[in-house]
């Protein structure tokens, strides 16, 4: 896991794969929490069920055994995925962003579309973005179009229906905590 100063978040060359590794401190904590839950709670519980079911005889028709083994494979696959994500993650704290006049990782952006619709999105990491909460992935087309824009800028969003212009109306970041820049 790397920690990066937020000034570079969302700018520079070689962005593609590196941007997909950005995550907020809260997002990193959520990944670690899920990993711990899988390893400490769920996996041992399923192992116990599989052990009990294996002692019941014929495993070919034993639903508890078959389901348990399948669930163990799913858990192990998710544990491998989470472990790799956590190892390669670049933690960027949006509250420490010094350049608050531009759109970077962690920004909450209010923008207007050509159809006079106003939308508010927060740009988050790929593992933590939740559209229900108004969060979009850093690598999404909208986020990529908004990156580095300032209030009043018009940016082009390329969509399957054609290009659409978006106007940045407001940019905000979480407040810096005491003792930070």
3-state DSSP assignment of residue 25: helix
pLDDT at 6 over 60: no
Q: Which residues contact 163 (CB under 8 A, 6 or more apart)?
A: 156, 157
More confident residue, 12 or 104: 104
12-50 tens-digit pLDDT: 445 567 878 999 999 999 999 999 999 999 999 999 989
User: Model's pTM, two decimal places?
Assistant: 0.79
Domain spanning 25-91: which CATH class is it, in words?
A: mainly alpha
d(CA 125, CA 57): 47
Extents of the domains making up the chain:
25-91, 96-172
CATH topology of domain 96-172: Chitinase A; domain 3 (3.10.50)
Instruction: Note the pLDDT of residue 12.
Output: 44
Which region among 18-32, 53-67, 80-94, 101-115 has the lowest average model confidence (pLDDT)?
Answer: 53-67
């Amino acid at each position: 896991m790397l920690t990066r100063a937020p000034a570079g978040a969302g700018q520079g060359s070689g962005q593609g794969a590196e941007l997909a590794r950005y995550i907020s401190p809260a997002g990193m904590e959520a990944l670690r929490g899920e990993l711990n839950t899988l390893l400490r709670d769920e996996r041992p519980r399923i192992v116990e069920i599989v052990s009990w079911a294996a002692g019941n005889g014929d495993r070919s028709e034993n639903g508890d055994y078959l389901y348990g083994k399948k669930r163990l494979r799913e858990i192990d696959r998710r544990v491998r995925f989470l472990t790799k994500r956590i190892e390669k993650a670049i933690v960027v704290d949006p509250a420490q962003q010094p350049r608050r006049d531009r759109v970077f990782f962690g920004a909450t952006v209010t923008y207007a579309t050509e159809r006079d619709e106003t939308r508010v999105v927060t740009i988050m990491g790929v593992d933590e973005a939740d559209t229900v909460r108004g969060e979009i992935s850093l690598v999404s087309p909208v986020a990529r179009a908004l990156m580095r824009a300032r209030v009043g800028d018009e940016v082009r969003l390329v969509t399957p229906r054609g290009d659409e212009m978006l106007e940045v109306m407001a940019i905000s970041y979480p407040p810096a905590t005491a003792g930070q820049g």
